[in-house]
Amino acid sequence: MVAGIKVSRAGVVLPVVLLAVLAAGCGTQDGRNSAADEYRRTHPTPTAISSPPTPAEHRCPGESPSPTPSAPAASDGATAQPGDHYAENHGFRVPFALHGKQRCAGLTAVGRVRQALEPLRERGDFEVRSTRDALDRLDFPDGSVESYENGDGVGFLVTVDDSPVCVEGTLSRVAVQANAFGGYPDHAGCDMPSGGH
Tens of pLDDT, residues 71-128:
444 444 454 455 667 666 667 778 899 999 999 999 999 999 999 999 999 999 999 9
Burial of 159 (0-12, 13-18, 19+ CB in 10 A): buried
State if pTM tops 0.85.
no
Give one DSSP letter per residue of 50-110, joined into a string: --PPPPPP-PPTT--SS----SPP--SS----TT--HHHHTGGGSPPPP-HHHHHHHHHHH
Residue 158 pLDDT more than 90?
yes
Q: Which long-range contacts (CB under 8 A, 24 or more apart) does 76-83 make?
A: none
Task: State the pLDDT at residue 61.
Answer: 81
**Is residue 49 included in any domain, yes or no?**
no
Task: State the pLDDT at residue 76.
Answer: 46
Q: Residue 52's pLDDT band (boundaries 50, 70, 90)?
A: low
Task: State the pLDDT at residue 111.
Answer: 96
**Mean pLDDT, range 20-31, rounded to an integer:** 53
**Mean pLDDT, range 32-60, rounded to an integer:** 58
- Beta carbons of 58 and 65 less than 8 angstroms apart: no
Residue 58 pLDDT more than 60?
yes
Q: Residue 66's pLDDT band (boundaries 50, 70, 90)?
A: low
Query: What residues make up the domain containing 117?
Result: 97-181
**Is residue 48 included in any domain, yes or no?**
no
Task: State the pLDDT at residue 88.
Answer: 65
Specify the 3-state DSSP secondary structure of 142.
Answer: coil
**Is residue 145 included in any domain, yes or no?**
yes
CA atoms in the 13 A half-sphere facing the CB of 61 = 7
Residue 167 pLDDT more than 50?
yes
Q: Please state the length of the chain.
A: 197
Over the chain, what is the mean pLDDT? Answer: 76
Residue 134 pLDDT more than 50?
yes
pLDDT > 90 fraction of the chain, expressed in percent and rounded: 41
What does residue 171 show for φ and ψ, rounded to 5 degrees? -100, 120
**Is residue 80 included in any domain, yes or no?**
no
**Is residue 132 included in any domain, yes or no?**
yes
**Is residue 187 included in any domain, yes or no?**
no
Task: State the pLDDT at residue 77.
Answer: 46
Between strands 153-161 and 176-181, the pairing is: unpaired
**Is residue 77 included in any domain, yes or no?**
no
Is the model more confident about 72 or about 8?
8
What amino acid is encoded at 197 in this protein?
A: H
What interhelical angle do 128-136 and 100-123 show, nearest 10? 130
Is the model more confident about 190 or about 50?
190
Q: How far apart are CA 116 and CA 49, in angstroms?
A: 44
* Domain total of the chain: 1
Burial of 88 (0-12, 13-18, 19+ CB in 10 A): exposed
**Is residue 73 included in any domain, yes or no?**
no
The percent helix, strand, coil of the chain (3-state, each to 5) is 30, 15, 50
Specify the 3-state DSSP secondary structure of 124.
Answer: coil
